[in-house]
Amino acid sequence: EDVNVLNALVRFMEELSAGNSQNIQNWGWDKNLDPCNGNVNFNGTWKGVDCMKSQNVRKIVLDKFNLTGTFDAASVCTAKFLVVLSLKENTISGFIPKDIRNCERLRHFYVSGNRFSGVIPDTFPQLRNLKSIDISDNYFSGELPADMSRISGLLTFLAENNQLSGEIPDFDFSYLKEFNVANNSFSGPIPDVKSKFGADSFSGNPELCGKPLSKACRPSKTGLKHSSADRFLIFSGYIILAVVVLLLLALYLIKKNKPKEESAKVVVTKGRVANASKEHSSTSSESKTGGNRSEYSIASVEAGMTSSSSLVVLPSPVVTGLKFEDLLRAPAELLGRGKHGSLYKVMFDNATILAVKRIKGWGISAADFKRRMERIDQVKHPRVLPPVAFYYSKQEKLLVYEYQQNGSLFKLLHGSQNGQVFDWGSRLNVAASIAEALAFMHEQLQEGGIAHGNLKSTNILFDKTMEPCISEYGLIVAQGQDQPFLSQSDSFKSNALGRDGAYSTFKVDVYGFGVVLLELLTGKLVQNNGFDLASWVHSVVREEWTAEVFDRALISEGASEERMVSLLQVALKCINPSPNERPSMNQISVMINTVKEDEERSIISEPLSGHHALEKPNSH
């Protein structure tokens, strides 16, 4: 460590020891000694200090050290690599200084069982890397910072037995495993804790109400609590809101009265409701729109579009005799409006459910489009959803797929899982299947340079037998040096462009696949095209905390860390910023199969009485 850091750490210890110089000597906190290199059992090294790669102080654990002084955050936070700070069960007093914000890498902060007082500083939520916080059994008072939810990925928050007051702020409850604020003076409604924590976590706060406590909240009471200044602010807020709403309404009315613009070729028209249960309530509106159209149908106002000649129905066992008019008239429901188009669920023939993707602004020629779709259709792979039909017009392209009832990988990972278990074995299977299918497609479509172009967990769907399959293959053109039809600012693409500028469509898919692997391993949501997740994983791995990236569900299931790390290594290769360094899908498929074989071998060789052999839930 740097001399300045050593000096600061000695100062930190002096403050903690309240001038008891004996302490410092006994524990070897001497700036002339190396805190890192020495015997672990304090022999020339600093007691309670642990270092990373024998260089930087990473952990300071001074539990039960009879410390009676105060906490000098500014000094201790000069140790930039500090990840764990634990001062449990001493008699430290005073407050936590705002300078705690400088401990940027801090992941675990434990000060329970001391005599800390004062408020938790508002700089605290700036410590985004925090995983666990234990401030229980102290004399902390005042309100918690309102933006505690900024610490995303928090696993533990323990603050029981203090004098904290005010409302409990919103936390990022998605990953929280432990939460306790019992025996404080919190008041008001309990935020939605997603039924993860019971009444024990909140008891001993007489003014708290709402679930999971048995005391219900009285709506009027919160109103009374506001001061007149508060009330003024709230009312003026309402007024502003009302003005905005009125303005929007006016704008909408003005727009509506204008003639329809040329570009709006396909509209969703009002008519009969798709849902049978609502059928009679809307019969009155039917006459207005002329019979057969459904409330949400992909109908067109453009005369040209109703010609069935442009709909190409590919030979498939799913639909026979699908006509364009049928498609337009059929009841449809808008499922999503993605960056690249909208997706409709269409009931056809009362038996077949189709998914229709509508893409706008794709400047591809009719012949190219047709060739492309037919080529994709020719390369059949059981794990790739083939289009059943497609439609071309200059402004609009429609792609028809069979609707998959079992949802997407995204939904399985992040949706309400309905008690479904998505265990390690199943995740590994998904990874292996998708890698294999993608490798096959890449190989077959190498010549035309047709990659998937938009691989992500919403485009991996589960079929009837819960086997994963890739959908929307080849709907995005991202080839050569010329700009893909995506915007230039798309960080996904610019990322795929890499530092060396070389562009490869297939390597974009490899990146996308790497992000899917990260999602499978961490269980975390992907934002910003996976860029955030990727950089988070990188930072954790760099600091040798690899085990912390994995989904808690996988850890508690007892999944093999060794094999999770192997899969993580594959993912990191896929998301290499330089596309040329990324392996091919074929190589990736081989790597994942090796991990899968290891897994299978271990299941066979493990004794049946083993913890995971018994508890392993069925894979799909």
Residues that bind ligand ATP (CB under 6 A): 335-336, 338-341, 343, 355, 401, 403-404, 408, 454, 458-459, 461, 471-472
Q: Is the peptide bond before 607 cis (omega within 30 degrees of 0)?
A: no
Shortest CB 430 distance to ligand ATP, Å: 14
Kindly state the helix (H) or strand (E) to which residue 163 belongs, with its residue range.
strand 163-166
Distance between CA 109 and CA 554 in Å, rounded? 24
Do the beta carbons of residue 421 and residue 347 sit within 8 Å?
Answer: no
Report the SS3 class of residue 445.
Answer: coil
* Shorter beta-carbon distance to ligand ATP: residue 119 or 335: 335
Shortest CB 390 distance to ligand ATP, Å: 14
Distance between CA 107 and CA 127 in Å, rounded? 8
Do the beta carbons of residue 450 and residue 372 sit within 8 Å?
Answer: yes
Shortest CB 407 distance to ligand ATP, Å: 7
Distance between CA 1 and CA 552 in Å, rounded? 34
Shortest CB 413 distance to ligand ATP, Å: 12
Shortest CB 384 distance to ligand ATP, Å: 12
Shortest CB 321 distance to ligand ATP, Å: 20
DSSP codes joined into one string, 296-342: T-EEES-GGGG-GGGEEE---SS-SS--HHHHHHS-EEEEEEETTEE
The CA angle 84-88-90, to the nearest 5 degrees, is: 135
Distance between CA 296 and CA 329 in Å, rounded? 9
* Shorter beta-carbon distance to ligand ATP: residue 132 or 404: 404
Contacting residues for 330 by C-beta, under 8 A, at least 6 apart = 294, 297, 346, 347, 348
Q: What is the number of the residue whose Cβ is closest to ligand ATP?
A: 338
* Shorter beta-carbon distance to ligand ATP: residue 205 or 408: 408
* Shorter beta-carbon distance to ligand ATP: residue 114 or 471: 471
Secondary structure of the chain: what % helix, strand, coil (to 5)? 40, 15, 45
Shortest CB 360 distance to ligand ATP, Å: 11
Shortest CB 416 distance to ligand ATP, Å: 14
Shortest CB 23 distance to ligand ATP, Å: 58
Do the beta carbons of residue 469 and residue 461 sit within 8 Å?
Answer: yes
Do the beta carbons of residue 435 and residue 460 sit within 8 Å?
Answer: no
How many Cα atoms within 13 Å fall on the side-chain side of residue 508?
Answer: 29
Which residue is listed with tokens 């005010």? 166
For the chain, state the CA radius of gyration: 30
* Shorter beta-carbon distance to ligand ATP: residue 461 or 592: 461
Q: 556-559 — which CB contacts under 8 Å span 24+ positions? A: 557/423, 557/424, 557/612, 557/615, 557/616, 557/617, 558/611, 558/612, 558/615, 559/423, 559/424, 559/612
From the number of C-beta atoms within 10 Å of its C-beta (0-12, 13-18, 19+), residue 404 rates as middle
Shortest CB 324 distance to ligand ATP, Å: 19
* Shorter beta-carbon distance to ligand ATP: residue 72 or 472: 472
End-to-end CA distance of the chain: 52
Distances (CA, A) of 415 to 421, 422, 504, 536: 12, 12, 33, 22
Q: Return the closest-CA partner of residue 106 out of 140, 68, 132, 75.
A: 132
Quote the tokens at residue 249: 């309404």
Q: Is 493 annotated as a binding residue?
A: no
Distance between CA 335 and CA 401 in Å, rounded? 14
* Shorter beta-carbon distance to ligand ATP: residue 162 or 408: 408
* Shorter beta-carbon distance to ligand ATP: residue 399 or 554: 399
* Shorter beta-carbon distance to ligand ATP: residue 395 or 593: 395
* Shorter beta-carbon distance to ligand ATP: residue 348 or 401: 401
Shortest CB 136 distance to ligand ATP, Å: 41
Query: What is the SS3 assignment for 549-583?
Result: HCCHHHHHHCCCHHHHHHHHHHHHHHCCCCHHHCC
* Shorter beta-carbon distance to ligand ATP: residue 304 or 382: 382
- Binding site, annotated residues for ATP: 357
- Binding site, annotated residues: 357
